Structure 1
Amino acid sequence: MRTPHEPADPQGAAHPIRSLTVLPAHREDVELHTADGLTLVGELALPCDDEGRPTTPAATLVTLHPLPTHGGYMDSHVLRKASWRLPAMADLAVLRFNTRGTSSPRGTSQGAFDGGAAERFDVAAAIEFAEFHDLPRRWLVGWSFGTELALMHGCDPAIEGAILLSPPLHRASDADLDTWAASGKPLVALVPEHDDYLRPDEARERFARIPQAEVIGVPGAKHLWVGESAVRRVLDEIVAHVLPGHAPLPTTWSGPVGTATDDDDRTEEDA
């Protein structure tokens, strides 16, 4: 596990899930290789058995982070907490990576930010990585700028569906939405009531051109999903749509548990 954490508790007591809770998973640093010759850095978190050996996940989340020019990266807090919790709590694989030119404690991906255009190669590389490693039932999870990448570049035959957190719809065009509409693939948008860029009523109007799209307005929430209750709502919705019948997630964990010591719980401003 890359994240510094306190020693696991082997006693099996019921521990409350808190902001810095890290549950068991097999975590490994990975590299993605793009068609235009770049190497991107990332991490794959997999469910594991009692000995820490990786097991086959029920489904896979390919995550796309917020805007890197405004602080977004693979460790943006909702995505990081998904990797800390969902392998153990929902049997999900979580792939996180830095898009081109983006840095995090894991390292810096090669290349330079391109406003969402050349990032099409980054999205393709992540999907190809998941395919090559036989990760099943692949879903995209994009946050803010990451939702634009999902809408513009993620409607791939290897992807089952997409979940969009705080979609601003700044870069994605009606043509991109029409591509998703024609695919019939499920598309779920979680839209905060107090979002800075796109609020629920306008989101329902914009996404109406995708018949299968589900827009979920989240009362009281803001674009950055700050606070444990907001994170839990996001993770519950992800699991509910990817693995129906497995949400809501428990709020306690009986078994080994760690506590992160380096989480800055960043609240990026991004779009």
Structure 2
Amino acid sequence: MEIRASTVLPARRTDIELQTADELTLVGELAVPESAPPVATLICLHPLPTHGGMMDSHVLRKASFRLPALADVAVLRFNTRGTSSERGTSQGAFEEGVGERLDVAAALEFAEFNDLPRPWLLGWSFGTELALRWGRDPLVEGAILLSPPLKRATDADLDAWAEFGRPLVALVPEFDDYLRPAEAADRFKRVPQAEVVGVDGAKHLWVGEPYVRIVLDHIVRRLNPSAVPLPTEV
């Protein structure tokens, strides 16, 4: 069977709730391999909720549909404060990426409490800014950034990540609306361990199965290299 955009592969999927330090309840889902322990964990930080971003944004949803089965990776998705999806609405209201610091902390606390191994952050657009600003936790092994705009996240945040020392991978679409590969390479020079990957033909929203597969392969190359390249059929 060919893996298509709508393909959902086997996994153990559990609706979860995250509790923040300011007493909000965030809704989410944890998908883990069906019959083996995960080798790593992907914590997904979604695009801007005021522009439709949520835990079901398509790349994040497809990661949860495929990576537990194809790469033995656990995938944790959740709605940041005030964000709605089919799973439900997280309490609170959008706070321009500031109050969301506590949302990131709640996800990491959940991962630690549930013994989820080797957490990596996957941020997309607005989610990249949450990763850069608030993801520098000793628990975090590294971060993968999709379409980083580098607007709320500043040079000071990049300098702090450089000092943090953990791997940082930025996947930058050739035709991004906010930051394109050449400028991204220049901005990320502040982070010696950063790897900037320009993706030919891609746009900010990563629409199209070929681009989703590129993204998922890059993720798995860091979290479980033995599973790369991901199969296109099962």
TM-score (norm 2): 0.99
Is 1:144 matched with 2:144? no
How far residue 248 of structure 1 moved from its aligned partner, in angstroms, is: 1.2
Which among 71, 81, 93 is matched to residue 100 of structure 1?
A: 81
Structure 1 equivalent of residue 97 of structure 2: 116
Q: Name the counterpart of 1:210.
A: 191
The 5 Å alignment of 1:109-258 reads 109-253=90-234
| 1:30 has 2:16 as partner | yes
**Is the partner of 1:135 in helix, strand or coil?**
coil
**Secondary structure, counterpart of 1:217 in structure 2:** strand
- Confirm or deny: 8 A CA contact 2:70 2:227 kept in the other structure: no
Distance in 2 between residues matched to 1:67 and 1:38, nearest whole Å = 19
Higher helix residue share: 2
Whose radius of gyration is greater, 1 or 2?
1
Matched residue type, 1:120: R
The structure 2 residue matched to 1:84, chosen from 65, 86, 102, is 65
Q: Which amino acid aligns with 2:211?
A: A
**Contact persistence 2:73–2:223 (CA under 8 A):** no
- Within a 5 Å distance, the mapping from 1:36-51 to structure 2 comes to 36-49=22-35
- Offset at residue 244 of structure 1 (A): 2.2
In structure 2, the partner of 1:5 is none
**% identical equivalent positions:** 73
TM-score scaled by length of structure 1: 0.86
Offset from partner CA, 1:181-206 (integer Å, 9 cap, x none): 01110000000000000000000000
User: Can you give the 5+ residue segments of structure 2 that lack an aligned partner in the other structure?
Assistant: none
Q: Which has the higher contact order (CA 8 A, sep 6+)?
A: 1
Structure 1 stretches of 4+ with a deviation exceeding 6 A read: none
* Number of equivalenced pairs: 234
Name the SS for the 1:177 alignment partner.
Answer: helix
The superposition leaves residues 116-175 of structure 1 with CA deviations (integer Å, 9 ceiling, x where unpaired) of: 000000000000000000000000000000000000000110100000000000100111
Alignment deviations for residues 54-100 of structure 1 (CA, whole Å, 9 cap, x no partner): x3100000000000000000000000000000000000000000000
Distance, in Å, in 2 between the alignment partners of 1:229 and 1:173 is: 31
Gaps of 5+ in 1: 1-14, 50-54, 254-271
1:73 is matched with 54
Q: CA RMSD in A?
A: 0.6
Give distance in 2, aligned partners of 1:87 and 1:168. Answer: 29
CA shift, 1:246, in A, is: 2.1
